[in-house]
């Protein structure tokens, strides 16, 4: 496989992942993703920002999140985000001990 085709396939897979997380599974909370996988939508938007910055594109965290989420963080939170339960918070604290 040539390099251009590989990049196009990776980009298509990323777009499909974004669609799945932002349209198909808005019920899944970021804290649950972090607890199970070690990354969430915010991580993906940060990686997007880092890739843009590496190419010389000036983009901050909030701009990247708005691009990734397709809306402002305030809109996302008010529409989809729920308050983390004590169990979710405890699992988050436990799963991130290794990252400290």
Does some domain include residue 97? no
CATH of the domain at 46: 1.10.3340.10
| Cα 78–chain centre separation | 17
pTM for the whole thing? 0.86
Does some domain include residue 92? no
Does some domain include residue 22? yes
Give residue-wise pLDDT tens across range 3-28. Answer: 999 999 999 999 999 999 999 999 99
CA–CA separation, 86 and 62 (whole Å): 27
Does some domain include residue 99? no
Does some domain include residue 45? yes
What residue numbers bound the domain in which 48 lies? 3-78
With beta carbons less than 8 A apart as the criterion, state whether 71 and 48 touch.
Answer: no
57-81 average pLDDT score? 96
Structural domain count of the chain: 1
Query: What local confidence, expressed as pLDDT, does residue 28 receive?
Result: 95
């Amino acid at each position: 496989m040539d390099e251009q085709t590989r990049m196009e396939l990776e980009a298509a897979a990323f777009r499909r992942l974004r669609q799945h997380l932002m349209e198909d599974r808005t019920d899944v909370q970021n804290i649950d993703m972090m607890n199970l996988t070690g990354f969430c939508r915010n991580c993906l938007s940060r990686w997007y920002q880092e890739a843009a910055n590496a190419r010389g594109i000036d983009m901050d965290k909030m701009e990247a999140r708005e691009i990734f989420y397709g809306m402002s963080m305030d809109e996302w939170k008010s529409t989809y985000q729920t308050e983390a339960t004590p169990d979710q918070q405890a699992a988050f604290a436990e799963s991130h001990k290794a990252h400290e």
